[in-house]
Amino acid sequence: MKLKPLFDKVVIREEELKETTASGIILTGNAKEKPVMATVIAVGPGGIVDGKEVKMEVKVGDKILYSKYAGTEFKLPDETVTILRQSDILAIVED
């Protein structure tokens, strides 16, 4: 399934979290923090949003950091993705 986000929306795939701490403690589902790093898999065209012109700064393939509880999670047949606004993205991670 291919998603085409509208306006300033971005579709991301969350990065996998480590399930153990540095000291070797295994984290249960409730103890894990929500991921804040993800890969962009689709980007909207930008345009006029809330009366302001929005230029898209991210592109497909970018690794990003985003606000911890931003966006809406969707379960697709083969994966789970999150759709959020570009303004919820805090940074692009560069190597």
Radius of gyration of the chain (CA): 15
Domains and CATH numbers, the chain: 9-93 (2.30.33.40)
- Residue 76, judged by CB atoms within 10 A of its CB (0-12, 13-18, 19+), counts as exposed
pTM: 0.79
Determine how many CB atoms are found less than 10 A away from the CB of residue 92: 13
- The span from the CA of 72 to the CA of 80, in Å, is 10
For 20-59, b/e burial (b = at least 16 CB within 10 A) is eeeeeeeeeeeeeeebbebebbbbbeeeebeeeebebeee
Per-residue pLDDT of the chain (95 residues; tens, 9 = 90+): 789 999 999 999 988 766 666 676 666 665 556 668 999 999 999 998 889 999 999 999 999 999 888 999 999 999 999 999 999 999 999 97
Terminal-to-terminal C-alpha distance of the chain:
30
